[in-house]
Amino acid sequence: MIFRLASKNDAIKINTLINQAYRGEKGWTRETEIIEGNRSLLSDIIKLIENPISNLFAIEINDMLVACICVEEKKDKAYIGTFAVNPNLQNQGLGKKILNLAEEYAIKELGYKITSMAVISQRKELISFYERQGYIKTGRKFEYPTDLNIGVPKIKGVTIEHLEKVHNKSLERNI
């Protein structure tokens, strides 16, 4: 498995992967029943690749793009997002390995002690996965952002929930 920073040459493949993983018909978890429309646009992926505070990774196996994940540098936390695994390879432990590599990058390369993410609250199975990886719900929720061009809710009351993980036990007591 190769874990490398994405380039503009990867943008089309990453955009396709994200839309298949989030809104496609395969995979152990997806948003198809909750949100309609594309999850990402090619222009958004290019902006992430070009943004100096975003570290978008392309993950390859046998020269094939199989996943992506982004570690964005925020004020006091590294934000993990744009995380997608090829639906045909989901539920095999690959996502857990990739998440661990992204967290390791945030800690060792960027110097963060806390990683955070936002997940659709209605995706209980995905939130449970992240909780098993050490993330906790922060209690912060907000309405689904229809203005970001990431799809439109099919159901009422869709919210986004924040999760965090502290990577230094001594910090946990101070939160």
What secondary structure letter does DSSP report for 9?
G
Task: Report the Cα 93 to chain-centroid distance in Å.
Answer: 16
pLDDT at residue number 28: 84
Residue 29 is predicted with a pLDDT of 85
Q: Write out residues in the chain with pLDDT < 50, as ranges.
A: 170-175
Q: What H or E segment, with its residue span, contains residue 22?
A: helix 11-23
Q: In which domain, by residue range, is 73 found?
A: 2-172
67-80 residue pLDDT tens = 999 999 999 999 99
107, two tokens: 């800690």
pLDDT in the model for residue 149: 85
pTM for the full predicted model: 0.93
Write down the pLDDT at residue 103: 97
pLDDT of residue 169: 56
For residues 143 and 158, what is the distance between their CA atoms, to the nearest angstrom? 6
Number of domains observed in the structure of the chain: 1
Rounded Cα distance between 68 and 57, Å, is: 5
CATH of the domain at 76: 3.40.630.30
Which residue type does 167 have? H
